Amino acid sequence: MTRNVKRIAQGGFSLIELMVSLVLGMLVVGAAIGIFASNKQTYRATQGLGRIQENGQIAFELLSRDIREAGSNPCDVALPAGNIISGAGAATPDGANWYMALAYPLYGFESGASGAPAHVAGTDVIQVLRAGDDVRGLTADLVSGGNTATFAPGTPQFKSGDVVMICDMRVLGVFKANNDSTGTTTGTINFGNGFNDCNYFPQPNAGACAGASTAYLFPKFSSITALHGIRWFVRDSDGDATNGYSLYRQVNGGNAEEVIQGVTDLQLKYLTDTGYLDSSALATADAWKSVRAVRLTLTLRDTEVKGTDGQPLSRVIENVITLRNRVL
């Protein structure tokens, strides 16, 4: 018997069809990779821009806080300071003891000016004298002839060599602490001879250390706080320019602390009755006391992110800060 076997036709891709499919698949995958890379670059750019804006906001907030308080004290900014610190009378705003030059509650430097801290060429420096953030009250009268003040709360404590202000509504005294303050609930601090020329504070209109007969009695509940001399400037990060530039803050001649990374430039203008001026145009203490506002221009850069021009992403931000206190 003869059987008829029906053959089933078998189909498949030809080599040409397979190559076309592979090319089309590669195009689709390439397009997906391109979209992913573009989205990643956009995300990094957005993240970098957000980081710059956030750093700019923090920098302006911290700078504004110090500049607004230039010349402040807990009592009355119109009070003349009775400064008994040794050598305070010869202190200048561009000298080694600049934080004791009370006649200059606000001062600035142009790039490379004498007396300025080490900073990036072409950038400006600003310094302010302001009251500390923690104000205490005397727990007993500071009697004439006494050289120890008791106050509450006792913390945070003063350190030996700290510049301290004490005041009521009639007299403002400034001294250096001769010792670390003691106590937590109630603190004590000594201001006798050592860092100071005398161990008392003069009455109103009397010169510093004008004689024991001019000693002033600060009553209970008078205010006592630290006096901070603060400098802001741009410097190499950790002293190495390869790590980029940062905004630094220095207090009372101590070690400079890095505050904001990526700040490459700081420019300052000072508003007076004649308009905005550079610091070089303000030559006297009276000229500096006439400053009503400071215009800050910060340049920030993110070296990790490139812009469309292939350069590191950067932004220039400007702000104007009004001074609350114009005299110390």
- Per residue in 51-96, pLDDT (tens digit) is 777 888 888 899 999 999 999 999 988 888 889 999 888 999 999 8
Take residue 57 and report the two structure tokens written for it: 């906001």
Locus of tokens 């007299």: 171
Residue 241 scores a pLDDT above 60 = no
Take residue 133 and report the two structure tokens written for it: 């953030």
Return the percent helix, strand and coil in the chain, to nearest 5. 25, 35, 45
Q: Domain limits of the chain?
A: 51-322
**Model pLDDT for residues 135-169, shown as the tens digit of each residue:** 999 999 987 667 889 999 999 999 999 999 999 99
Q: How many whole angstroms separate alpha carbon 240 and alpha carbon 144?
A: 53
At 71, the amino acid letter reads: G
Strand, coil or helix: what is 37?
Answer: helix
For position 256, what pLDDT does the model report? 92
pTM for the whole thing? 0.82
